Amino acid sequence: MNPTAPLLGVNIDHVASLRQARYRGGLHPTDFAEPDPARAVHEAELGGADIITVHLREDRRHINDRDVEVIRPLTRMRLNLEMGATEEMLGIARKLHVHMCTLVPEGRQEVTTEGGLDVIGQLARLKTMVAKLKDPAGHSGGGMTVSAFIDADVRQIEACRSAGFDACEIHTGPYANAFAASGGDALRPALAAEIARLADACHAVRAMGMRLHAGHGLNYTNVAHVARIPGMTELHIGHSIVARGIYVGLRQAVADMKLTISRA
């Protein structure tokens, strides 16, 4: 393994999505409802995950409150809570002492997170929220690392710095779409343009002194271009790993992704 490769955050939301496909009416903590995302934490850890990510959505459509409460003490690596920028989520993140949280926009109708957070449009509110999340008082880990999921846009990155975020997670969805449309041919103008846009945004994040994360739509074939961006510290990946896990097991799927990133 390459020790300078970005860390891998494994998003296990879709383990809960599969459970909810059957147990839509909600579940009591003692119900036998599978697959249990808490078990996925263990498998991801054995596969070499560096970070576990769960997104507690406002409508609790996949991960629910019980999941986060059970997963927090089970997670021996970092737990990253993805959440909307609301007072309710702030309370949960602080109560559970999660290590890190990533603020994302939330639209009730979207299947998954579709666009980056508009930090410019809610700068004052986010500044207050970030300060509360980073406050070391009463947090066993000395405060959370706070990241914003944003589009590859230098103005949003500047706003993140003003708001006090520790990290920016650059939205790689448009890159992933261009990769698929171009068959992965980086000489095709559409894909070349997306790679250049990502590189510029990532450079800006580092130049402004924040940690550099990226995620959304990354898979085993498209991850290499993103993994080799200078200064990339974390990649956050869910769907492709859980999908591969159906065939090869989650532990193996995580290990395969670790190796793919390491080789990039």
Site residues (CB under 6 A) for ligand PXP? 11, 13, 55, 82, 102, 104, 112-113, 149, 169, 215-218, 236-240
Closer CB to ligand PXP, residue 13 or residue 45?
13
| Phi, psi angles (nearest 5°) of residue 87 | -65, -40
Q: Is 219 exposed, middle or buried (0-12, 13-18, 19+ CB in 10 A)?
A: middle
Closer CB to ligand PXP, residue 28 or residue 133?
133
How crowded is the C-beta side of 194, counted as CA atoms within 13 Å?
A: 24
Q: Is 216 a catalytic residue?
A: yes
Instruction: State the CB neighbour count (10 A cutoff) for residue 78.
Output: 18
Catalytic-role residue among 43, 45, 55, 62:
55
Q: Is 139 a catalytic residue?
A: no
Q: To the nearest whole angstrom, how small is the minimum distance from the Cβ of residue 114 to ligand PXP?
A: 9
Check the CA dihedral 238-239-244-250 and report its sign.
positive
Q: To the nearest whole angstrom, how small is the minimum distance from the Cβ of residue 228 to ligand PXP?
A: 18
Closer CB to ligand PXP, residue 86 or residue 142?
86
Catalytic-role residue among 99, 216, 225, 236:
216
How far apart are alpha carbons 119 and 171 in whole angstroms? 14
Q: To the nearest whole angstrom, how small is the minimum distance from the Cβ of residue 11 to ligand PXP?
A: 5
Element (H, E) at 79: strand 78-83
Q: Is 28 a catalytic residue?
A: no
Catalytic-role residue among 45, 82, 106, 194:
82
Q: To the nearest whole angstrom, how small is the minimum distance from the Cβ of residue 42 to ligand PXP?
A: 20
Q: Which residue from 99, 128, 100, 103 is spatially nearest to 113, judged by alpha carbons?
A: 103
Closer CB to ligand PXP, residue 67 or residue 169?
169
Active site residues: 55, 82, 216
